[in-house]
């Protein structure tokens, strides 16, 4: 049996050595150069100064146009929103953004019923796969530990190659695309906003909404905790926070069980943290189906109209 263990140990040692080397290489490459995916683009920004930054989930990334706000206000901005990101994601990305020598005076934080119930609203609520290279950072470690299973966390922590083994295809693909010089969406050109390209006319379908809602929506304690942490963190770093809720088609509000609780909670946070809150869920824009791509996302035309309105609040905040 000794011979077997010796051979298994040798095999294991060779595999681990190679995997540690690959892990180091991927940690270095992804923190230095990956920009194809939005989270990497956000976390790999370096040494830039902005007047305002937009953050949140898809309704920040897709429905808030930085270039329109820049045009109206004459100030420089960046969109740090990521589709399907929860507040824990936003917190990690915003911290990396600031720690990379970037700065912003105002943070426009998009809050809505979905982001406050991310586990029921998003397919992939916590985007842990993007933080694998940052697991040495205790701050990131703590948030990751809070959002994934203990077994996975400890495996990744004490045997780092396992994190890339789990997400092998994703990182191999990134390496391949990076090596081939492939370009994804040009976030540099749009300032991080990705306006909806879909031009198909939108028709509200109540039956579809009822059929596709996963669970009765609530206010998730964990999402609320990270929203508060994000606000506190920005305030501590001298960034003025402005909360806003992007428009969604007015009919949809009837089907959001946590809408009333959400409004009350936003009122409470805005009051207790002494920060502004603009809710566009009752704006006139929400009544025009021609401005939407689906019930909770505006199309490019709607986004530009909404961003023009939001720009006035940005101007006031600056």
> Toward another protein, which CB reaches closer, 165 or 224?
165
Q: Does 167 bind another protein (CB under 8 A)?
A: yes
Q: Does 19 bind another protein (CB under 8 A)?
A: yes
> Toward another protein, which CB reaches closer, 145 or 175?
175
> Toward another protein, which CB reaches closer, 139 or 167?
167
Distance of closest approach, residue 294 Cβ to another protein, in angstroms? 18
Distance of closest approach, residue 31 Cβ to another protein, in angstroms? 21
Candidates 159, 165, 224, 253: give the one binding another protein (CB under 8 A): 165
Nearest to 245 by CA among 227, 229, 233: 227
Binding part of the chain for another protein, among 36-44, 134-142, 170-178, 183-191 by CB under 8 A, reads 170-178
Q: Does 6 bind another protein (CB under 8 A)?
A: no
* Coil, strand or helix at 104: strand
Instruction: Kindly list the distances between the CA atom of residue 86 and the CA atoms of 46, 49, 81, 169, 225, in Å, as whole numbers in the listed order.
Output: 23, 25, 10, 24, 11
> Toward another protein, which CB reaches closer, 3 or 189?
3
Tokens of 202: 């939108």
Q: Does 264 bind another protein (CB under 8 A)?
A: no
Distance of closest approach, residue 175 Cβ to another protein, in angstroms? 11
Q: Does 168 bind another protein (CB under 8 A)?
A: yes
Q: Does 13 bind another protein (CB under 8 A)?
A: no
Instruction: Kindly list the distances between the CA atom of residue 240 and the CA atoms of 38, 92, 140, 281, 314, in Å, as whole numbers in the listed order.
Output: 24, 18, 23, 23, 11
Q: Does 9 bind another protein (CB under 8 A)?
A: no
Say if CB 243 and CB 275 are below 8 A apart. Answer: yes
> Toward another protein, which CB reaches closer, 155 or 263?
155
Instruction: Kindly list the distances between the CA atom of residue 88 and the CA atoms of 46, 91, 126, 207, in Å, as whole numbers in the listed order.
Output: 21, 5, 7, 32
Q: Does 4 bind another protein (CB under 8 A)?
A: yes
How far apart CA 103 and CA 315 sit, in angstroms, is: 18
Q: Give every CB contact of residue 254 below 8 A, 6+ residues apart in sequence.
A: none
Question: Rounded to the nearest 5°, which phi and psi values hold at 218?
Answer: -135, -175
Distance of closest approach, residue 132 Cβ to another protein, in angstroms? 12
Tokens of 193: 């906003």
Binding part of the chain for another protein, among 132-140, 162-170, 185-193, 258-266 by CB under 8 A, reads 162-170
195-230 burial code (b ≥16 CB/10 A, e <16): bbeeeeebeeeeeebeeeeeeebbebebbeebbeeb
Distance of closest approach, residue 219 Cβ to another protein, in angstroms? 29
Give residues in contact with another protein (CB under 8 A): 1, 3-4, 8, 11, 14-15, 18-19, 151, 155, 165-170, 172-173, 176
């Amino acid at each position: 049996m000794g011979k077997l263990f010796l051979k298994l140990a040798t095999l294991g040692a060779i595999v681990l050595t190679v995997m540690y080397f690959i892990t180091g290489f991927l940690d270095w490459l992804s923190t230095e150069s990956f920009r194809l995916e939005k989270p990497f683009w956000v976390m790999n920004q370096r040494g830039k100064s902005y007047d305002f930054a937009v953050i949140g989930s898809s309704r920040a990334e897709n429905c808030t146009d930085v270039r329109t706000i820049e045009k109206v206000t004459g100030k420089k901005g960046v969109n740090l929103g990521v589709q399907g990101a929860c507040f824990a994601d936003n917190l990690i990305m915003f911290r990396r953004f600031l720690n990379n020598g970037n700065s912003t005076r105002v943070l426009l934080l998009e809050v809505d019923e979905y982001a406050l119930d991310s586990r029921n609203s998003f397919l992939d609520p916590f985007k842990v796969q993007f933080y694998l290279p940052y697991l040495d950072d205790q701050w990131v470690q703590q948030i990751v530990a809070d959002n994934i299973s203990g077994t996975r966390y400890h495996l990744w922590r004490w045997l780092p190659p396992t994190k890339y083994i789990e997400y092998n295809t994703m990182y191999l693909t990134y390496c391949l695309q990076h090596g081939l010089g492939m370009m994804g969406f040009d976030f540099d050109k749009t300032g991080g906003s990705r306006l909806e390209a879909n031009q198909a006319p939108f028709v509200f379908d109540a039956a579809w909404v009822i059929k596709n809602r996963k669970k009765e929506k609530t206010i998730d304690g964990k999402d609320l905790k990270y929203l508060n942490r994000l606000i506190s963190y920005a305030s501590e770093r001298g960034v003025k926070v402005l909360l806003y809720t992007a428009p969604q088609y007015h009919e949809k509000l009837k089907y959001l069980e946590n809408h009333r609780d959400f409004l009350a909670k936003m009122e409470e946070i805005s009051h207790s943290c002494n920060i502004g809150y603009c809710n566009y869920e009752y704006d006139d824009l929400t009544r025009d189906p021609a401005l939407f791509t689906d019930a909770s996302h505006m199309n490019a035309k709607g986004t530009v109209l909404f961003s023009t309105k939001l720009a006035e609040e940005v101007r006031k905040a600056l």
